[in-house]
Every structure is written in structure tokens, then in C-alpha cells.
């Protein structure tokens, strides 16, 4: 049996009666699904998509393994099989990054299963997950090619093994890509050499090993292959051979510059002609050799013509030059000679700027900003324009505080010098991505990519800010979490409101005011904490109940104030996953509503589908309690499991928020679009509402509307902010 996460609604299963469907009833006490904290709705990383094959005789155990991956931060696209005979078909027709397999499936034991995996001839790490994973089984699994063998009740061990294998897989894929790129460059170089207007040859130990057609024609030959293994001295007049031999001996030992000599060369018929030979060290087919460029110094008759002068070389691409300098800086950092910092500056809302100023004027603006930075930072930074709306600055400034100060200085320069354009006043802001180049930086290209990524993150967080890329080092993460917990505890003690609002917009005539409420906290460097990061930190610190109560009181008080103004408004807010096992949490909601004189119809509580699926009984009790108060419930990350609608048989949620992985690529991935269409169809049959988070562009919004999604949110509609000012009466 094969089952994919995108073909799981009952309606789809009924359309294919010949397919057997696994039954998946999650156990609330399953050891695999309960050991790791889950993340919140809008911060699921869609870029970390993991295509995983789950080969197990038990679908609910496969679901638990899937939950471990999702709680570990992976957006998964799983395929489930419970029959070894289905594995070849799955591997033949789909891309797969990882296999989590039982030690046996049906009549197939461990050795047989591994043979099936290897028969696919794919670079595929296989991890065996078995309740009987003792030392003997581990040794057997490793002997047959598995990467590890882990007991199902050790989710942390499993997650670390997955991270290790995916990291190694990425390295192997990167090596293969590099080798492929090298072959492509060799092919292009050969094509350029063949088409060159200069006469070029490569000489090893005095013998020609390769020459292009122009070189062969210069010496009266029709085919360059005729020069193979021909001594170069055979092409030199006897009177000049001693002088030419001495020239090669004195200048062919690895000089890094071009040397030239004028001699009398010979054509195939013995005719001599004056020629200039320029030599330089080179490498051909992995062999160190000499490159020779021959130029005729006199006109010749017949088919041989004087080689035309070389075309002027194109100017070096600025970004390529920056990457070369970055590589030098990385090597200097590894040697302990210097440490540097790369700042990637992006102009915020450049598309809107183009609409207002025009494309040409907007590009001139970026050009002028680049010139200003070069002038003001002369001697401090290498300034390079990168693309339409970005500028890179390479500095000897690894200190974070100095870099932040430089960011403020650059912002002031940009605003002061370019705030007026074409008679218009411009509100220019910039997003900064910063990378420290240290001995741990793998390459200049990696540093550049990290800076671009950090800049994009700064832009998605509202722009006009600086985000530093941090290596995934446990000590840094622990320090950041400790600071976050202290920040939360201070907010609770002082009863300060630090929350933001994201509008949730109806796509089919729903015009009420509807906002998602999120905590909005920043660290000491001004960088925002992600919502999921906040909830995980407070759970780890044991202050989740106090934090949930603090958020609840803020939202209830806000609801009372707004409804007194006669506005029809609803809020969706999150509770930590531990709330489902706390009987007092529903009582606290009841007390807060009663104290404010409200019923619960305007509050929707957001729960993680992962947490509900692994704690079914507490989740059902918790949701039923909220329903008694007339509150609604939304399940997040919906649709990423093997049988997502199974949880609705136990937890009667009112809203289903899709997993962000479906939304991010729905305009270009047919599989994601079909998944959303199927999920929407079944959801409507069950009289539930659907919600799509993370909408970034108009094309995505249009596809969601066509699929029948009820509500959408994301930065394209409006970014989260401190004010509730979205116009819900406008057309979505």
C-alpha cells in the first residue's frame, strides 16, 4: 500500500476504491510523538522541505515518526508504504531525501529491504527504526548499508541522526554538483578555445598536446589533430631553435606572467614566416603545461590569413569580483590574518518605488546610492552593486556593535542624500543582512548567500532593520533563549502589552474584522523573535501557563474595548501545547470572559495539529471545554500528516489552517495545488473553515481563491504590526 500526505482525504480515497488505505489512530501515550516541543502556526519553515519515505507496517507509528520530524523543524512531504513491493515504484517516480524504515516488512527481512533500497540506485540514507534495536541489530543494519538503527522510543536520537544524514547528503549532492559544474566549465572552455581567433596550443615536455584550428591553419595544416605529439621545435626555423629552446627553459618553470619571443616559424611546406610566440603556465586535462599563443607578424598568401587582433575583453563582473575578494578574505580568516564582515543592503519596497518613480529612475537611484556609499566609505569598504535593488559592502569590521552602528550611518546617508527624487519626497528604508567572515566560514559564496538570506529575513520582518546571520551553534541558541525567557518574565511582571496583529482576510464574502494576535518581542540587538521560538522557550522554561494567561488577559481586554465601539471583530490567539493537559486552563478562560462580560464567540484558540494528534484525549477534553464557552478552535499545520482528517474524528476543530509548505509553492507545484483542492473539498463537506497562512504574492492569493480557501493571511495582504488598520471592506 502506498499513501501520500497529499492524497489522504476520504473523498480522494473513495475515488480510487482499488487502493488500500491504512488506518491511523494515534495513541496519546506514544513515546515517539510526545518528547519534543512543537512550533506555532505562522513560523513553520517552508524552505526546509524534507521528502521522506516512511516504510512501516503500522501507519500510526509512521505518523509518530513524522511528528518527530515536524517538531524538529522540518516541513515534510511524506510517502507511506506498508508493503515492500511498493517501494521500487515510489523510489522510481519521486524524489526522496530520507528513508525511515522498519526492520522488516511482511516477508522481507532487513537484508531484503536494504537490497530493495539499493536497487533504486539513488543516494538515499536509510535509518532503521525498530523497538528491538539492540546492538546485534545495529551491527546487522550497518553491515547491510543502513546509516543507523534506532529504537522508536528515542526521538531525540532519531532527530539528531536525521540531521546528520541530511547534512552529509547535502554535502554529497553539493560535490556532485561541483563536479558537474567543473565538467561544464571544461566544455565551455574547449568551445571557447576552438572558436578563438587567436592561434593557441598547449605544450608538455616540448610536445604539442592540444591546438585549436587557428593554430593549425597558421602552420599550413587542415586538422589540429595532425599536431598531436609533434615537437614544437619542428615548427621553428633551425637558425632560431637554440634561442627558442633557451627561451622555453628560462621562462617555462612556472612564471606567473606572459613572456614572448619573436622567431622564424615554419609551415608544413617548409616556408618560413616571422611569428611572435607568447607563453604562460597553464593546466590542460589536469597536466601542468605551457600555453602558447602564436601571432603571424607578416601577411601570408593562400588560405592562411593573419589572425585578427583580439576583441577587447569584457569588463569584470562586479559580483564576480566581489566573490573573488570574499574567497581571499575567507582564506585570510582561516589563516588567522584578518576577519571581515559582509553587509548586504536591500532597498525596501523596490517594486513600489519603480511604480512611483518609473523603472529607469529607480535604477538610477540605486546607482546614485552606490556611488554615495563608495564616496563616503572610501577606504572602509568595498562597495558593489548586486542586481537591481541591492548593494554589498565588504568591511574589516567583524564586531556586531560596530556593524550595527554602520547600518545606522548608512541609513542616515541614504535618507539625507536621496530622500528627494524627481521633485518627490521619498520614504527610503533599507534592510541589512550581515555575515561575519571567520575561520568557520566555508567559502566566499556561502558568506554571500548567507548575507542575502539574512537581508530577505529582515525585509520579511518589516524592513528598515539589520539581521545578522548566526551559525547554528547550541551555545548561541541557549543564550538567546535565556534572554527571551527573562524578557517574557519581565513583561508578565510589569503587565506590558507587546503584541502584534495580522489581518485574516475572507476570500469569499467574509467581511468581518478578523485578526491573529501574536507576541512581538525583540532581543537586545533589535531582532524579532519568531512566534514559535517564543512559545518553545516559555515551555522549556516552565512559564508557559503564566505566558498564556498574560496573552489571554490582553486579548480579552482588547475585545471588550473594541466591541463597546460597536465593531464586529474576532481574534485568533495561540496557547502553548501544554495547555491541553491543564484542566485549569479552560477555567481561566471562563473567568476572564466572565470578568469582562463577554461570551466566547469572538475568540478562536489556535492549537497545533501535531500536539493534538499525539495527545488525543486531553485535546478532545480541552476543545470540548472551549466549545462550552462558545469559543472556537483552529488546528494549525493541517494537511501535512498521512491522514489529516483522522484527528477531526476526535477533536472537533472549527478552523483548519493549512501547513505553510503547501502555500509557498502552490503556484508552481501541481502536487501542492491538488492537495489544497482536496483538503478544501473535504473540509467543506465537514462544514469547517479553511485558512491559508503565509501568502506572499497576488498569484498565490488567486490560486487559493480558485481552490476554495475561506481565509488567507500573509505579508502580501498586510504584515503583522502594532495597529489594527486593515480595510476589510475592500476586495480581497
Tell me the per-residue pLDDT of 445-475, one tens digit each, with 9 for 90 and over. Answer: 778 888 888 888 888 777 888 888 764 343 4
- Looking at the structure, tell me whether residues 455 and 331 fall in a common domain: yes
| pTM for the whole structure | 0.48
At residue 572, the pLDDT reads 94
* Torsion, Cα of 173, 174, 178, 183 (10° steps): 10
Asked if residue 481 is part of any domain, the answer here is no
| Model confidence pLDDT, tens digit, residues 490-511 | 666 665 557 899 999 999 877 7
Range of the domain at 605: 496-712
The pLDDT of residue 353 is: 76
Residue 20, domain member (yes or no): yes
Residue holding cell 485549569?
A: 584
Q: Does one domain contain both 550 and 650?
A: yes
What is the model's pLDDT at position 498?
74
* pLDDT above 60 (res 688): yes
Task: Show Cβ contacts of residue 456 under 8 Å, excluding neighbours closer than 6 positions.
Answer: 346, 431, 433
Q: Taking the chain, what is the end-to-end CA distance rounded to the nearest angstrom? A: 42
How much is the average pLDDT of 211-227?
A: 86
| pLDDT score, position 230 | 81
Q: Which of 114-123, 376-385, 597-606, 625-634 has the lowest mean pLDDT?
A: 114-123
Strand 430-437 to 466-468 pairing: parallel
pLDDT higher than 50, residue 21:
no
Question: pLDDT category, 293, cuts 50, 70, 90?
Answer: very high
Look at residue 28 in the predicted model and tell me its pLDDT: 30
Q: Looking at the structure, do residues 465 and 533 belong to the same domain, yes or no?
A: no
Per the domain annotation, does 74 fall within a domain? yes
pLDDT digit string, tens, across residues 6-16: 323 333 333 33
Same domain, 168 and 275: no
Q: What does the pLDDT average to over 240-251?
A: 85
Same domain for 654 and 682? yes
pLDDT at 45 over 50: no
Task: Considering only CA atoms, give the Rg of the chain.
Answer: 33
314 domain residue, yes or no: no
Judged against a pLDDT cut of 90, whether residue 280 lies above it is answered with: no
What integer is the mean pLDDT of 535-541? Answer: 75
Q: Does residue 316 belong to any structural domain of this protein?
A: no
Helix axes 531-541, 544-563, angle to 10 degrees: 130
Which of 108, 142, 175 is at the close of a domain?
175
Determine contact, residues 318/429, Cβ cutoff 8 Å: no
Q: Which residue has the higher pLDDT, 235 or 328?
A: 235
**pLDDT at residue 257 in the model:** 58
The count of residues in the chain is 732
Separation of CA 626 from chain center: 38
User: pLDDT tens digits for 542-560?
Assistant: 788 888 888 898 899 999 9
CA distances 716 to 455, 507, 515, 698, 720, Å, are: 18, 14, 15, 7, 11
Place 46 in a pLDDT band, splitting at 50, 70 and 90.
very low
- For the chain, give the mean pLDDT: 79
Residue 256 has a pLDDT of: 55
What CA–CA distance (Å, rounded) separates 721 from 654? 26
Residue 398: band (very low, low, confident or very high) from pLDDT cuts 50, 70, 90: low
The pLDDT confidence band at residue 37, using thresholds 50, 70 and 90, is very low
Q: Which pLDDT belongs to residue 13?
A: 32
Residues 380 and 451 in one domain: yes
20 pLDDT more than 50: no
In a domain, 224, yes or no: yes
User: What does residue 208 show for φ and ψ, rounded to 5 degrees?
Assistant: -70, 130
732 assigned to some structural domain: no
pLDDT of residue 176: 65
**pLDDT tens per residue, range 73-118:** 888 889 999 888 888 888 866 678 899 999 888 888 888 898 888 8
Given this model, what pLDDT does residue 603 score?
94
Q: What is the DSSP string of 470-532?
A: ----HHHHHHHHHHHHHHHHHHHHHT---EEEEE-EESSS--SEEEEEEE--B-TTSPBPPHH
Mean pLDDT score, 193-212: 87
Yes or no: say if 574 and 40 are a contact pair by the CB < 8 Å rule.
Answer: yes
Domain count of the fold of the chain: 4
What does the alpha-carbon distance between residue 726 and residue 718 come to, in Å, rounded to a whole number? 7
Could you tell me which residue, 166 or 359, shows the higher pLDDT? 166
605: domain CATH number? 3.20.20.450
Q: What is the mean pLDDT of residues 328-335?
A: 72
Q: What is the DSSP letter of 313?
A: P
Of 450, 447, 413, 449, nearest in space to 430 by CA: 413
Please compute, for residue 53, the number of CA atoms within 13 A of its CA located in the half-sphere on the CB side.
29
Same domain, 579 and 516: yes
pLDDT in tens, 549-591: 888 988 999 999 999 988 889 999 988 877 887 778 888 899 9
Whether 555 and 575 have beta carbons less than 8 Å apart is answered as no
pLDDT at 422: 64
Is 199:293 a contact under the CB 8 Å cutoff? yes
* Same domain, yes or no: 461 and 502: no
Query: 250 with 163, same domain?
Result: no
pLDDT of residue 602: 92
Which residues have CB under 8 Å from 547's CB, separation 6+? 488, 492, 519, 535, 538, 576
* pLDDT at residue 40, as a whole number: 33
d(CA 318, CA 140): 54
- Residue that wins the pLDDT comparison between 353 and 525: 353
Report how far Cα 460 is from the mean position of its chain's Cα atoms. Answer: 14
Q: What is the CATH number of the domain that holds 292?
A: 3.30.450.20
Same domain, 230 and 329: no
Same domain, 508 and 601: yes
Task: Check whether residue 555 and residue 689 sit in a common domain.
Answer: yes
* pLDDT the model gives residue 516: 93
Amino acid at each position: 500500500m502506498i499513501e501520500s500526505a497529499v492524497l489522504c482525504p476520504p473523498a480522494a480515497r473513495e475515488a480510487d476504491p482499488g487502493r488500500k488505505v491504512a488506518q491511523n489512530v494515534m495513541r496519546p501515550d506514544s513515546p515517539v510523538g510526545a518528547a519534543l516541543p512543537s512550533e506555532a502556526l505562522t513560523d513553520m519553515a517552508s524552505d526546509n522541505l524534507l521528502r521522506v519515505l516512511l516504510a512501516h507496517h503500522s501507519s500510526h507509528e509512521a505518523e509518530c515518526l513524522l511528528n518527530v520530524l515536524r517538531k524538529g523543524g522540518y516541513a515534510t512531504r511524506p510517502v507511506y508504504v506498508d508493503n515492500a513491493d511498493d517501494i521500487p515504484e515510489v523510489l522510481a517516480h519521486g524524489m526522496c531525501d530520507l528513508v525511515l524504515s522498519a526492520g522488516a516488512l511482511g516477508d522481507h527481512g532487513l537484508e531484503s529491504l536494504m537490497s530493495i533500497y539499493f536497487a533504486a540506485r539513488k543516494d538515499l540514507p536509510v535509518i532503521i527504526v525498530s523497538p528491538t534495536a539492540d546492538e546485534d541489530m545495529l551491527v546487522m543494519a550497518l553491515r547491510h548499508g543502513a546509516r543507523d538503527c534506532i529504537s522508536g522510543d528515542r526521538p531525540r536520537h532519531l532527530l539528531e541522526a536525521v540531521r546528520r544524514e541530511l547534512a552529509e547528503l547535502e554535502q554529497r549532492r553539493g560535490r556532485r554538483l561541483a563536479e558537474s559544474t567543473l565538467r561544464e566549465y571544461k566544455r565551455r572552455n574547449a568551445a571557447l578555445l576552438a572558436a578563438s581567433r587567436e592561434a593557441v596550443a598547449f605544450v608538455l615536455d616540448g610536445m604539442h598536446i592540444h591546438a585549436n584550428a587557428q593554430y593549425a591553419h597558421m602552420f599550413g595544416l587542415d586538422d589540429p589533430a595532425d599536431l598531436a605529439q609533434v615537437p614544437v621545435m619542428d615548427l621553428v626555423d633551425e637558425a632560431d631553435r637554440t634561442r627558442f629552446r633557451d627561451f622555453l627553459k628560462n621562462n617555462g618553470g612556472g612564471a606567473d606572467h606572459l613572456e614572448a619571443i619573436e622567431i622564424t616559424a615554419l609551415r608544413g611546406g617548409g616556408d618560413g614566416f616571422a611569428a611572435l610566440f607568447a607563453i604562460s603556465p597553464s593546466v590542460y586535462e589536469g597536466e601542468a603545461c605551457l600555453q602558447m599563443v602564436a601571432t603571424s607578424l607578416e601577411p601570408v598568401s593562400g588560405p592562411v590569413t593573419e589572425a585578427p587582433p583580439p576583441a577587447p575583453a569584457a569588463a569584470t563582473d562586479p559580483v564576480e569580483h566581489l566573490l573573488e575578494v570574499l574567497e581571499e578574505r575567507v582564506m585570510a580568516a582561516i589563516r588567522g590574518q584578518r576577519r571581515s564582515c559582509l553587509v548586504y543592503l536591500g532597498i525596501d519596497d523596490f517594486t513600489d518605488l519603480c511604480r512611483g518613480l518609473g523603472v529607469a529612475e529607480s535604477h538610477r537611484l540605486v546607482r546614485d546610492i552606490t556611488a554615495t556609499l563608495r564616496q563616503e566609505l572610501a577606504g572602509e569598504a568595498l562597495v558593489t552593486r548586486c542586481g537591481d535593488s541591492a548593494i554589498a559592502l565588504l568591511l574589516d569590521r567583524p564586531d556586531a556593535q560596530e556593524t550595527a552602528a554602520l547600518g545606522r550611518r548608512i541609513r542616515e546617508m541614504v535618507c539625507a542624500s536621496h530622500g528627494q527624487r524627481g521633485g518627490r519626497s521619498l520614504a527610503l528604508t533599507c534592510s541589512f543582512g550581515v555575515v561575519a567572515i571567520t575561520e568557520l566560514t566555508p567559502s566566499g559564496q556561502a558568506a554571500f548567500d548567507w548575507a542575502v538570506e539574512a537581508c530577505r529575513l529582515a525585509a520579511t520582518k518589516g524592513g528598515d532593520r539589520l539581521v545578522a546571520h548566526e551559525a547554528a551553534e547550541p551555545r548561541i541558541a541557549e543564550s538567546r533563549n535565556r534572554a527571551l525567557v527573562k524578557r517574557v518574565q519581565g513583561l508578565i511582571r510589569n503587565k506590558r502589552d507587546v503584541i502584534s496583529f495580522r489581518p485574516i482576510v475572507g476570500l469569499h464574502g467574509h467581511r468581518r474584522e478578523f485578526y491573529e494576535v501574536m507576541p512581538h518581542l525583540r532581543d537586545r540587538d533589535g531582532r524579532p523573535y519568531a512566534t514559535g521560538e517564543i512559545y518553545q522557550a516559555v515551555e522549556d522554561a516552565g512559564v508557559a501557563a503564566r505566558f498564556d494567561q498574560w496573552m489571554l488577559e490582553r486579548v480579552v481586554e482588547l475585545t471588550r474595548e473594541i466591541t463597546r465601539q460597536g465593531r464586529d471583530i474576532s481574534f485568533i490567539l495561540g496557547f502553548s501545547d501544554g495547555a491541553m493537559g491543564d484542566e485549569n486552563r479552560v477555567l481561566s478562560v471562563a473567568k476572564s470572559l466572565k470578568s469582562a462580560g463577554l461570551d466566547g464567540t469572538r475568540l478562536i484558540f489556535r492549537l497545533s495539529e501535531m500536539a493534538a494528534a499525539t495527545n488525543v484525549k486531553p485535546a478532545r477534553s480541552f476543545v470540548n471545554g472551549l466549545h462550552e464557552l462558545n469559543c472556537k478552535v483552529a488546528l494549525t499545520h493541517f494537511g501535512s500528516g498521512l491522514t489529516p482528517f483522522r484527528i477531526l474524528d476526535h477533536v472537533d476543530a472549527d478552523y483548519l489552517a493549512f501547513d505553510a509548505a503547501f502555500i509557498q509553492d502552490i503556484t508552481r507545484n501541481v502536487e501542492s495545488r491538488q492537495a489544497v483542492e482536496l483538503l478544501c473539498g473535504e473540509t467543506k463537506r465537514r462544514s469547517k473553515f479553511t485558512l491559508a497562512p503565509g501568502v506572499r504574492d497576488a498569484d498565490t492569493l488567486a490560486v487559493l481563491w480558485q481552490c476554495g480557501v475561506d481565509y488567507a493571511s500573509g505579508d502580501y495582504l498586510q504584515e503583522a504590526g502594532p495597529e489594527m488598520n486593515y480595510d476589510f471592506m475592500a476586495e480581497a
